[in-house]
Amino acid sequence: MALSKVTSKGQVTIPKPIRDALGLEPGDRVDFRLSSEGEVVMEAATIDLMSLYATLQPSDKSLTLEDMDDAIAEGARGRR
């Protein structure tokens, strides 16, 4: 079991074996959530840029500046 102490600012140090298992490095983000059983689940939330790149698909559709302006205006109207 790896223990950590909560500081007066609510901060904890993630023990090295846990950081290693999650592949965490300084500056990485982590996500905390409560499971339905009341347990705390912590996951690495850092995005791997290569996996993000793989999700991007080139588009055959070219947009004009007018198309972009129209889309922006439509989005702005939807917020009101």
The more confident residue out of 70 and 50 is: 70
Is the pLDDT at 26 greater than 80? The verdict is yes
The 8 Å CB, 24+ separation contacts for 11-15 are 14/42
H or E element, residue 21: helix 16-22
Residue 76 has pLDDT above 60, yes or no: yes
pLDDT attached to residue 50: 67
pLDDT averaged over every residue in the chain: 84
CA–CA separation, 43 and 63 (whole Å): 38
Query: Residue 69: pLDDT above 80?
Result: yes
Q: Give 12's contacts (C-beta < 8 A, 6+ positions apart).
A: 4, 5, 6
**Average pLDDT value for residue range 10-32:** 90
Q: Domain 1-53, CATH 1.10.1740.10 — does that match?
A: no
Interatomic CA distance for residues 57 and 59, integer angstroms? 6
Query: Domain coordinates of the chain in residue numbers?
Result: 1-53
